[in-house]
């Protein structure tokens, strides 16, 4: 969601302004509506603007604050107050001696604001964040030093936060986190602070992860990390296993298109060392015994992957349920003791973390299925299964969804204690090549051009194709802003048929030739009889193409993996619809990559 950057350089190193602007540009994918910097160079200079980072850069050129060795920056995604210059971060105290940036939500800010106003503090914004610099100011006036004042302010906060602060005429950065990520980058030239690694991956791949309740003080020469009581904490450096080039566009017009085309490689990485074609086995580096049932908790695209994963688990005889993470409560356990799997691309999704913490508090075992090594979910869960998709910059998830699908499918096969036949193994091993063939041969762009002016889009599927239909609709609405809905195909006659129009195509995902496929073909006939155009995504085994206006083909494979291939076509269709409409595909309005507030 919001993005934090911070930098403090040793003498003779880079100007903080350049580092911070570069960091903010690297975090643009997270989604934001304003941006700002605070630079400490004897005086404290704050520059912030509604709009994109380019607006901030123009403002910096106009203000020309000069070189500074230390600073913090922020991209804001509005929660309290509309997008505006005043509501943009950083926020300062009455005397402009301290500047603060913040991700998360301070739940008791109204109470704190009333208390501070009663003491004479004046506020310039509608945000919850602005109480923090005023709390620091109040503590300084009581005689506290900078670190004590910062800690005192943080102690008053209720809610979620990642906070960083800088002071006038001081060469240090203070930071703290609770339920919102912060990571420190380390190199010979200085120290970096960010809400996500891409902010500073251009400079270093050596990182320290802050945990909930921890504080950090960065100086030109040292990083000090301590707990809430001030006791020092020793941490080991971790190495990020990708570099800045991995996060570039590589000549593609958008990150999303690049990441769609990276899926063969991502799936090979997901499967490498896990699927043995000689021994015909699936082996995961996990330790789990006596799994009687599974609950999967997730949000958005990851929820659709979880729906898919639950079906693969049930196919192996393992009871599995899927829950929207924000709806998961202790009563969801209902006396059960399942393995609770949190499916989260970033590993920082607030609702999913909340569900996992609920499960742990009830004594359940937990497993994170995530793309991000060192993320909160990976650290807090009993074990982690990494999907290995590599960095994903586009807000709309693509390669991480496919990698989640395959990681969960492999997990189901592994948990099924050897119930893996040769056909399944062969299909998994050839899947990346099949994905490549879809990418090479897809006519989704031409089909998209036919329907770019449609009034609405409806996606249907059964079985493994049902979650894919839901995801296809989500992907289209995310990046094109067009109305799209996904249904279980059998539900059409229970209401959605009333929406059928000759300018509202139905995208039917039909693979295989079993009873589900035949029933979906019947649903397609119902749609056709009502005058709606049909786009069939199919492997050709059901003859659905004779009832379709257009066809997007996928290779024949095992039913569980045909759904993965169908999803590639739906991603391309959504992309080309959005491209024809001229939408900002990588940064869709109102959305964020990592949703760290509930």
Q: Are residues 193 and 236 in the same domain?
A: yes
Among 207, 227, 244, the domain-final residue is: 244
Q: Which residues neighbour 170 within 8 Å (Cβ) at sequence distance 6 or greater?
A: 40, 70, 146
Q: Are residues 13 and 161 in the same domain?
A: yes
Lateral strand order in the sheet of 457-461: 484-488, 457-461, 506-510, 534-538, 550-553
User: Is residue 516 classed exposed, middle or buried when 0-12, 13-18 and 19+ CB atoms within 10 A define those classes?
Assistant: buried
Cα of 295 vs its chain's centroid, Å: 21
If you search the block for the tokens 């570039």, which residue do you land on?
248
pLDDT tens digits for range 342-384: 999 989 888 999 999 999 999 999 999 999 888 889 999 999 9
Residue 418: pLDDT band by 50, 70, 90 thresholds? low
Among 418, 440, 462, the domain-final residue is: 440
**Residue 105 has what pLDDT?**
87
**Residue 247 has what pLDDT?**
65
Q: Are residues 431 and 580 in the same domain?
A: no
Q: Are residues 253 and 401 in the same domain?
A: yes
**Residue 597 has what pLDDT?**
57
**Residue 574 has what pLDDT?**
97
166 and 99 Cβ atoms separated by less than 8 Å: yes
Q: Which residues neighbour 10 within 8 Å (Cβ) at sequence distance 6 or greater?
A: 189, 190, 220, 221
How far apart CA 91 and CA 98 sit, in angstroms, is: 8
Residue 596: pLDDT band by 50, 70, 90 thresholds? low
Residue 582 sits in a domain of what CATH number?
A: 3.40.50.10490
Q: Are residues 78 and 190 in the same domain?
A: yes
Residue range of the domain that includes 92: 3-244
Q: What angle do CA 469, 563, 522 make, to 5 degrees?
A: 60
DSSP 367-430: EEEES-TT-HHHHHSSEEEE-------SSS--HHHHHHHHHHHHHHHHHTTS---HHHHHHHHH
pLDDT over 80 at 548, yes or no = yes
Question: Can you tell me whether residue 301 is helix, strand or coil?
Answer: helix
**Residue 379 CB: number of other CB atoms within 10 A?**
14
How far apart CA 317 and CA 552 sit, in angstroms, is: 33
How far apart CA 299 and CA 137 sit, in angstroms, is: 39
| Half-sphere exposure in the Cβ direction for 301 (13 Å, CA) | 28
Q: Are residues 61 and 92 in the same domain?
A: yes
Q: Are residues 224 and 290 in the same domain?
A: no
Mean pLDDT value across residues 310-338:
92
User: Is residue 18 classed exposed, middle or buried when 0-12, 13-18 and 19+ CB atoms within 10 A define those classes?
Assistant: exposed
Bridge partners of residue 276, in order along the sequence: 281
Q: Are residues 203 and 305 in the same domain?
A: no
Q: Where are the beta strands (DSSP E) in 456-549?
A: 457-461, 484-488, 506-510, 534-538
| Half-sphere exposure in the Cβ direction for 120 (13 Å, CA) | 5
Mean pLDDT value across residues 395-401:
93
pLDDT tens digits for range 236-261: 898 887 666 566 677 788 889 999 99
415 and 318 Cβ atoms separated by less than 8 Å: yes
**How many domains in the chain?**
3
Q: Is 493 labeled as catalytic in the residue annotation?
A: no
Which of 2, 270, 299, 381 is the catalytic position?
2
Q: Which residues neighbour 435 within 8 Å (Cβ) at sequence distance 6 or greater?
A: 263, 264, 267, 402, 564, 565, 568
Q: What angle do CA 186, 100, 184 make, to 5 degrees?
A: 15
Cα of 346 vs its chain's centroid, Å: 5
**Residue 383 has what pLDDT?**
95
Q: Which residues neighbour 145 within 8 Å (Cβ) at sequence distance 6 or greater?
A: none
Q: Are residues 397 and 338 in the same domain?
A: yes
Output the CA torsion 447→449→454→457 (10° steps). Answer: 40
Q: Which residues neighbour 137 within 8 Å (Cβ) at sequence distance 6 or greater?
A: 93, 94, 95, 97, 98, 121, 149
| Mean of per-residue pLDDT scores for the chain | 91
Mean pLDDT value across residues 326-331:
91
State both tokens at 402.
């496919």
Phi-psi region of 487 (alpha: psi -120 to 50; beta: other; left: phi over 0): beta
Q: Which residues neighbour 352 within 8 Å (Cβ) at sequence distance 6 or greater?
A: 297, 298, 299, 302, 325, 342, 343, 344, 377
Residue 220 sits in a domain of what CATH number?
A: 3.60.20.10
How far apart CA 317 and CA 328 sit, in angstroms, is: 24
Handedness of CA 280, 282, 283, 289 (dihedral sign): negative
Percent of the chain surpassing pLDDT 90:
69
How far apart CA 38 and CA 6 sit, in angstroms, is: 9
Residue 202: pLDDT band by 50, 70, 90 thresholds? confident
Residue 12: pLDDT band by 50, 70, 90 thresholds? low
This prediction has a pTM of 0.78
State both tokens at 122.
């004046």
Bridge partners of residue 166, in order along the sequence: 99, 173
Q: Are residues 54 and 185 in the same domain?
A: yes
pLDDT tens digits for range 130-153: 999 999 999 999 999 999 999 999
Q: Is 593 labeled as catalytic in the residue annotation?
A: yes
Residue 592: pLDDT band by 50, 70, 90 thresholds? low
**Residue 533 has what pLDDT?**
96
How far apart CA 265 and CA 34 sit, in angstroms, is: 35
Which of 258, 477, 587, 593 is the catalytic position?
593
How far apart CA 429 and CA 275 sit, in angstroms, is: 8
How far apart CA 351 and CA 320 sit, in angstroms, is: 20
**Residue 375 has what pLDDT?**
87
Residue 390: pLDDT band by 50, 70, 90 thresholds? confident
**Residue 245 has what pLDDT?**
59
Q: Are residues 289 and 434 in the same domain?
A: yes
pLDDT tens digits for range 479-507: 999 999 999 999 988 988 888 889 999 99
Q: Are residues 367 and 395 in the same domain?
A: yes
How far apart CA 374 and CA 205 sit, in angstroms, is: 13
* Among 242-256, 270-284, 477-491, 547-561, the least confident range: 242-256
State both tokens at 493.
């006659």
pLDDT over 60 at 186, yes or no = yes
If you search the block for the tokens 């991000």, which residue do you land on?
372
Mean pLDDT value across residues 448-453:
96
Among 419, 440, 461, the domain-final residue is: 440
* Among 29-33, 157-161, 282-286, 584-588, the least confident range: 29-33
């Amino acid at each position: 969601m919001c993005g934090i950057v911070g930098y403090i350089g040793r003498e003779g190193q880079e100007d903080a302004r350049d580092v911070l602007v570069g960091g903010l540009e690297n975090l643009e994918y997270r989604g934001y509506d304003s941006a700002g910097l605070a630079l400490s160079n004897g005086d404290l200079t704050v520059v912030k603007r509604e709009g994109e980072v380019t607006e901030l850069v123009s403002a910096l050129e106009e203000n020309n604050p000069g070189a500074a060795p230390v600073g913090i920056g922020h991209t804001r995604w509005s929660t309290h107050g509309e997008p505006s210059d005043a509501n943009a971060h950083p926020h300062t105290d009455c005397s402009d001696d301290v500047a603060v940036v913040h991700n998360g939500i301070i739940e008791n800010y109204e109470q704190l604001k009333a208390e501070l106003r009663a003491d004479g503090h004046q506020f310039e914004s509608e945000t919850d964040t602005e109480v923090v610099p005023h709390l620091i100011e109040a503590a300084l006036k009581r005689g506290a030093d900078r670190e004590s004042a910062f800690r005192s302010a943080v102690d008053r906060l209720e809610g979620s936060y990642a906070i960083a602060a800088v002071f006038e005429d001081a060469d240090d950065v203070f930071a703290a986190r609770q339920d919102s990520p912060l990571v420190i980058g380390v190199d010979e030239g200085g120290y970096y602070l960010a809400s996500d690694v891409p902010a500073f991956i251009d400079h270093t791949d050596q990182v320290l992860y802050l945990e909930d309740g921890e504080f950090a003080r960065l100086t030109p020469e040292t990083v000090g990390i301590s707990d809430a009581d001030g006791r020092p904490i020793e941490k080991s450096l971790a190495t990020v296993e990708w570099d800045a080039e991995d996060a570039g566009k590589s000549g593609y017009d958008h990150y999303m298109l690049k990441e769609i085309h990276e899926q063969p490689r991502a799936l090979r990485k997901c499967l490498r060392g896990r699927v043995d074609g000689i021994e015909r086995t699936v082996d995961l580096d996990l330790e789990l015994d006596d799994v009687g049932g599974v609950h999967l908790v997730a949000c958005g695209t990851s929820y659709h992957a979880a729906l898919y994963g639950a079906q693969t688990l049930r196919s192996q005889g393992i009871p599995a349920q899927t829950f929207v993470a924000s709806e998961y409560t202790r009563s969801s356990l209902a006396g059960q003791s399942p393995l609770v799997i949190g499916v989260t691309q970033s590993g920082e999704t607030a609702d999913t973390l909340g569900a996992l913490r609920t499960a742990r508090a009830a004594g359940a075992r937990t497993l994170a299925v995530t793309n991000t090594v060192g993320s909160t979910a990976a650290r807090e869960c009993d074990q982690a299964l990494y999907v290995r998709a590599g960095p994903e910059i586009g807000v709309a998830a693509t390669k991480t969804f496919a990698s989640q699908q395959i990681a969960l499918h492999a997990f189901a096969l592994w948990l099924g204690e050897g119930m893996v036949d040769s056909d399944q193994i062969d299909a998994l091993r050839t899947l990346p090549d099949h994905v490549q063939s879809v990418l090479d041969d897809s006519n989704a762009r031409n089909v998209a051009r036919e329907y770019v002016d449609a009034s609405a889009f409806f996606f249907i599927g059964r079985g493994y194709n049902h979650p894919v239909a839901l995801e296809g609709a989500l992907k289209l609405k995310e990046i094109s802003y067009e109305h799209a809905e996904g249904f279980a195909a059998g539900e059409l006659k229970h209401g959605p048929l009333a929406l059928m129009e000759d300018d509202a195509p139905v995208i039917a995902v039909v693979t295989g030739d079993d009873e589900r496929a035949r029933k979906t073909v019947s649903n397609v006939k119902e749609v056709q009889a009502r005058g709606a155009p049909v786009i069939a995504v199919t492997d050709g085994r059901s003859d659905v193409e004779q009832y379709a206006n257009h066809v997007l083909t996928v290779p024949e494979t095992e039913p569980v993996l045909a759904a993965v291939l169908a999803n590639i076509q739906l991603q391309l269709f959504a992309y080309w619809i959005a491209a024809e409409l001229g939408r900002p595909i990588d940064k869709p309005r109102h959305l964020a990559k990592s949703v760290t507030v509930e």
